[in-house]
Amino acid sequence: MSRVLIIGAGGVGAVVAHKCAQAPDVFSEILLASRTLSRCEKIRDDVRELQGRTIGVAQVDADNVDETVALIQSFKPDLLLNVALPYQDLPLMDACLAAGVDYLDTANYEPIDEAKFEYKWQWAYRERYEKAGIMALMGSGFDPGVTNVFCAYAQKRLFDEIHTVDIIDCNAGSHGKAFATNFNPEINIREITQNGRYWENGEWVETKPMQYSQTFDFPEVGERKAYLLYHEELESLVLHLKGLKRIRFWMTFGEEYLTHLRVLQNVGMTRIDPVEFQGQPIVPIQFLKALLPDPASLAEGYTGKTSIGCLIEGVKEGQPRKVLIYNVCDHAECHREVRAQAVSYTTGVPAMVGAKMMLTGQWKRAGVWHMEQFDPEPFLEELGQRGLPWHVKELEPSR
């Protein structure tokens, strides 16, 4: 029986609240907090209707460490589950450090004034968290998150050495909008318009945005073109996979989406630096975010599936082996269960499962840790039970 404080009331925060409410034996008390109280209240009402449980709500500015510490001291949670913006990771880690509470997030820190994300800022907390006797679990979403655990499982059970990993992410769903993003528009657009990166033969190789593409056959979806991006799980996995020679990340985008994105870039709407407009400074990408649909609003009527997994090659007992470890998630089924679309669901469920691993002591260690550094099997067993079944498909090894 544990108390959890969820910070963030977007699409993912809603899923986390619903899924935690479905496990009263672990999450005995739930408090959902956000800068916008009305969003928390809407989620609270949906949780009461669909799950038959009452959760608490509160207003908090996650950028304000003192305000968050006061909320922690008032509610006394066993864990702070951060599904706010990546900009807020460090203030929330500071608050947990000051209050002596465990921390979990789903995406690594990104400075607001630079489209760049890496783990160095959060790794800097290792010694302080160890000395405080508290734990921080990095990236307990799907990618990062489940993809890290898939790799850990492959290393434990399927391979003696892993040589190459391609993380492949496809959303083959349709929301019916001319242009919309499936998670926070500002974060989504910043992520895909920055330079790509992959790791090969012991060094990082930088690419231009969307410079490379490849067609993959995604389970239950079929062939789709995916583009090489940089994603944060690559940074930790290169440290923890034995024998690794190359690791890359690929994501699919429809042609209509890419056309809209090119136009927005060409006219300067994806800029992250302030510009002067009628005597006021505005950040174009933040203004664009205000114009685009709220990702949480896309759920109703969303059709199709996501198909995400790890394409892994290596050696087992002296023989080459290639597998795809993956999950397929249906948008409409997610909406029926928790009124969310599959992109929010595939992030929110692993966040809840990671929290359960920590609160039940199955994953427990003072310091700052990544998903692949723990036993993957209890996490994957729980993941399947909580709505994200996973599969291993044997493939013909590459020549």
User: What is the per-residue pLDDT across 66-94, written as a single tens digit (0 to 9) for each?
Assistant: 999 999 999 999 999 999 988 899 999 99
- What is the token pair recorded at 365? 């260690």
What are the CA-CA distances from residue 55 to residues 1, 205, 279 (Å)?
A: 15, 46, 44
Query: What residues contact 232, with CB distance under 8 A and at least 6 apart?
Result: 107, 108, 117, 118, 119, 139, 144
**Amino acid in position 92:** L
Confidence of residue 275 (pLDDT cuts 50, 70, 90): confident
Name the β-bridge partners of 7: 33, 82
How many other C-beta atoms lie within 10 A of the C-beta of residue 384? Answer: 14
Residue 97 has pLDDT above 70, yes or no: yes
What is the CB-side half-sphere exposure of residue 328 using CA atoms within 13 A? 14
**Cα(180)–Cα(297) distance, rounded to whole angstroms?**
10
Strand, coil or helix: 343: helix
**pLDDT-based confidence at residue 115 (cuts at 50, 70, 90):** low
Conformation bin of residue 88: beta by default, left when phi > 0, alpha when psi is -120 to 50: alpha
**Mean pLDDT across the chain:** 92
**Closest alpha carbon to 298 in 243, 241, 246, 340:** 340
The pLDDT of residue 398: 86
Q: Check if the beta carbon of residue 295 is closer than 8 Å to that of residue 179.
A: no
Q: Helices 11-21 and 331-338 sit at what angle, rounded to 10 degrees?
A: 60
CA dihedral of residues 189, 192, 193, 197 (deg, nearest 10)? 150
- pLDDT of amino acid 4: 98
My answer on whether omega of the bond before 144 falls inside 30° of 0, hence cis, is yes
Range 347-372 average pLDDT: 98
**pLDDT, position 182:** 60
Q: For the chain, which domains are there?
A: 146-339 (3.30.360.10)
Question: At 144, which amino acid appears?
Answer: P
Report the pLDDT value the prediction gives residue 101, as an integer from 0 to 100. Answer: 98
**pTM for this model (two decimals):** 0.93
Query: For 170-224, how does the pLDDT look when each residue is reduced to its tens digit (9 = 90+)?
Result: 998 777 666 666 666 666 777 777 889 999 999 999 999 889 999 999 999 999 9
- 51-62 pLDDT, tens per residue? 999 999 999 999
What per-residue confidence (pLDDT) applies to 187?
67
Q: How far apart are CA 361 and CA 343, in angstroms?
A: 28
SS3 (DSSP) at 150: helix
Is the CB of residue 283 less than 8 Å from the CB of residue 273?
yes
C-alpha 75/C-alpha 275 separation (Å) is 41
Half-sphere exposure of 180 (CA within 13 A, CB side): 19
Tokens at 293, concatenated: 């649909």
Phi, psi (degrees; rounded to nearest 5) at 108: -80, 165
Q: Which two tokens stand for residue 166?
A: 């391609």
Which of 389, 338, 342, 382 is closest to 358 using CA atoms? 382
DSSP state of 122: H
Residue 119 pLDDT greater than 70, yes or no: yes
Mean pLDDT of 6-28: 97
Three-state DSSP string of 275-315: EEECCEEECHHHHHHHHCCCHHHHCCCCECEEEEEEEEEEE
Separation of alpha carbons 396 and 399, rounded Å:
9
Burial group, residue 4, by CB count within 10 angstroms (0-12, 13-18, 19+): buried
Residue 44 DSSP code: H
Q: In whole angstroms, what is the distance from residue 37 CA to residue 57 CA?
A: 7
Mean pLDDT of 266-286: 79
DSSP assignment, residue 372?
Answer: G
Q: What gap in Å lies between CA 254 and CA 178, rounded to an integer?
A: 11
Question: Does residue 1 carry a pLDDT above 80?
Answer: no
Comparing 272 with 279, which gets the higher pLDDT? Answer: 279
For the record, the structure tokens of 177 come out as 């909008």
Chain centroid to CA 218: 20
